[in-house]
Amino acid sequence: MEQYAIKGGNPLVGEVEIGGAKNAALPILAASVMTDDTVYIDNIPDVWDIRVLLKAMENIGVMVRRENRHKVTINGANINSLVADDEYIRRIRGSYYLIGAMLGKYHYAEVALPGGCDIGCRAIDQHIKGFRALGAEVCIEHGLVKTQAERLVGNHIYMDISSVGATINVMMAAVLAEGRTIIENAAKEPHVVDLANFLNSMGADIKGAGTDVIRIRGVEKLHGSDYTIIQDQIEAGTYMFAAAVTKGDVVVKNVIPKHLESISAKLLEIGCEVKEIDDCVRVVASKPLMHTHVKTLPYPGFPTDMQAQITVALGISKGTSIVTESIFENRFKYVDELIKMGANIKVEGGDTAIIDGVEKYTGASISAPDLRAGAALVLAGLAADGITVVDNIHYIARGYEDFHQKLRTLGAQIELVNSERELQKFRLKVG
């Protein structure tokens, strides 16, 4: 089983290049089957979730051609099955974007209920509510979401929860519906905006993405496009916190600083220097980290996908901090692992972590419970005294391209090991 072996203590220094946003690429790839024309998508991250979605799309007859590691050509003219139910579909969350895409284009879709990280109940009632409002029948049978419509007709839809997935799915179905759709209390995340921009580049008429009211005028059909996905806000934020916890100095390149404002604000509060230079942010952590409080919120609030990374930083900051998770119910599972490394954190009521900062972490054998927490635990290992071994790192590969390689270019002592022997070799090498 693959593990990361980490010798902590090196300040990370240097430059790191950020790739395309996974959570924008997933819906954009799914939406690219909504036309029979060819679509070219650039800047896709080469991560496991994306590979799995592309495989699932191929399995229903979509032509997928990799032009290079980050560019793909897609043609959905010859889809031969409107039933997407295979081992791939069931593994990832993003597969449910095929429901909105196929419902919009073919008025029919059967897609296996999605998987994804186990971070709490991940209901899809708002997706279903939106599809029904557009005139579709929806039911869940034998593990599949089945939806069909004679006609899709625009409607006024109020989302009870600001849901990224539901906003995206309903937006996709609505672009090919008759008439106008208004989505209120829409999610405003950068990936929602990126999908809207992509759909508009295919001939859709979407206005207001990025605000909480999205207005869509249905069009008859969509055409081909050549589109470049935005940079990954969470990958960037993760390296910014890697600089903070290792007392480093890292220039995170190729980012959209606007998308990082809530993350930069918290880094400043805890005593780091953060400088924006064009499409780069430089994080310097030369002073001891200070405590703060943070609550995860929908964009532009502090992202739930950065909650574990900031908790790792606060775990070695001076004073007491409180982290409140308001998006998912079960996103503190990694805290037990941090406690093995010496953290003093108590989780109360499932959604609040009370953190008494300790001076340092100490290396331990720990296990990644999900994607973002896995990355955060690696950061803890990089900050810790001694050697940390992280298990279940396949989670990290779902969303971070070349994670350990990028960290190594910043001076991290981290290696992918496959056996006890390789781990021993690492121990000997790093002393």
On whether the CB atoms of residues 170 and 125 are closer than 8 A, the answer is no
DSSP-derived secondary structure for 241-255: HHHHHTT-EEEEES-
Binding map of ligand EPU across residues 244-263, x = CB under 6 A, - = no contact: --------------------
Between CA 39 and CA 354 the distance in angstroms is: 48
CB of 130 to ligand EPU, least distance (A): 9
Rounded least distance, CB 370 to ligand EPU, Å: 7
Query: Should residue 274 be labelled a site residue for ligand EPU when binding is judged by CB under 6 A?
Result: no
Cβ proximity to ligand EPU: between 217 and 295 the closer is 295
Q: Give the interface segment with ligand EPU, choosing from 72-80, 157-165, 241-249, 353-361 (CB under 6 A).
A: 157-165
**Binding residue for ligand EPU, selected from 58, 125, 205, 348, defined by CB under 6 A:** 125
- Give 159 or 341: the residue with its C-beta nearer to ligand EPU: 159
Choose between 327 and 410: whose C-beta lies nearer to ligand EPU: 327
- 121: annotated active-site residue: no
Only segment of 163-171, 338-346, 385-393, 422-430 that touches ligand EPU (CB under 6 A) = 163-171
Asked if residues 204 and 227 have their Cβ atoms less than 8 Å apart, the reply is: no
Tell me: does residue 126 bind ligand EPU (CB under 6 A): yes
* Interface residue with ligand EPU, options 7, 70, 93, 259 (CB under 6 A): 93
The string of DSSP codes covering 275-306 is: EEETTEEEEE--S--B--EEEB-STTSB-GGG
- Catalytic residue selected from 117, 139, 272, 280: 117
Residue 273 CB, nearest approach to ligand EPU (Å): 27
Q: Is the CB of 138 or the CB of 384 nearer to ligand EPU?
A: 138
Sign of the Cα pseudo-torsion (264, 265, 270, 273, in order): positive
d(CA 403, CA 6): 13
Judge whether 16 and 409 are in contact, CB under 8 Å. Answer: yes
Q: How far apart, in whole angstroms, are the C-alpha atoms of residue 284 and residue 292?
A: 18
- Choosing from 77, 123, 139, 265, the residue that interacts with ligand EPU (CB under 6 A) is 123
Residue from 85, 305, 337, 415 in contact with ligand EPU (CB under 6 A): 305
Element (H, E) at 27: helix 22-31
- Smaller CB distance to ligand EPU: residue 172 or 417? 172
- Residue window 391-430: x/- pattern of binding to ligand EPU, with contact defined by CB under 6 A: --------x-------------------------------
Q: Are 339 and 361 in contact (CB under 8 A)?
A: no
- Crossing angle between the packed helical segments 125-133 and 97-106, to the nearest 10 degrees: 10
- Report the distance separating Cα 173 and Cα 28, nearest Å: 13
Closest approach of ligand EPU to the CB of residue 335, in Å:
17
- Scanning 117-125, 248-256, 269-277, 406-414 for contacts with ligand EPU by CB under 6 A, the matching segment is 117-125
- Please state whether 342 falls in left (phi above 0), alpha (psi between -120 and 50) or beta: left
Does 307 engage in binding with ligand EPU (CB under 6 A)? no
Q: Judged by CB under 6 A, which of 25, 26, 111, 310 binds ligand EPU?
A: 26
Q: Does 124 bind ligand EPU (CB under 6 A)?
A: yes
Regarding 91 and contact with ligand EPU (CB under 6 A), the answer is no
Report long-range pairs for 260-269 (Cβ below 8 Å, ≥24 apart): 260/233, 260/236, 261/300, 262/300, 262/301, 262/302, 262/303, 263/233, 263/236, 263/237, 263/302, 263/303, 263/306, 264/240, 266/292, 266/294, 266/302, 266/310, 267/240, 267/241
Beta partners for 147?
Answer: 109, 138
Please work out the total of residues on this chain that contact ligand EPU, with binding judged by CB under 6 A. 27
Among 77, 139, 140, 161, contact with ligand EPU (rule: CB under 6 A): 161
Q: Report if residue 351 touches ligand EPU, rule: CB under 6 A.
A: no
| CA R_g for the chain | 22
Q: Is 163 in the site for ligand EPU (CB under 6 A)?
A: yes
Residue number with CB closer to ligand EPU (120 or 300): 120
Phi, psi (rounded to 5 degrees) for 253: -100, 155
Question: What is the signed CA dihedral for 262, 267, 270, 272, rounded to 10 degrees?
Answer: -150
Q: Which is nearer to ligand EPU, 125 or 205 (CB)?
A: 125
| CB of 248 or CB of 374, closer to ligand EPU | 374
CB distance 60 to 88 below 8 Å = no
Q: Which residues bind ligand EPU (CB under 6 A)?
A: 23, 26, 93-94, 117, 120-127, 161, 163-166, 187, 189, 304-305, 327-328, 371-372, 399
Show which residues are catalytic. Answer: 117
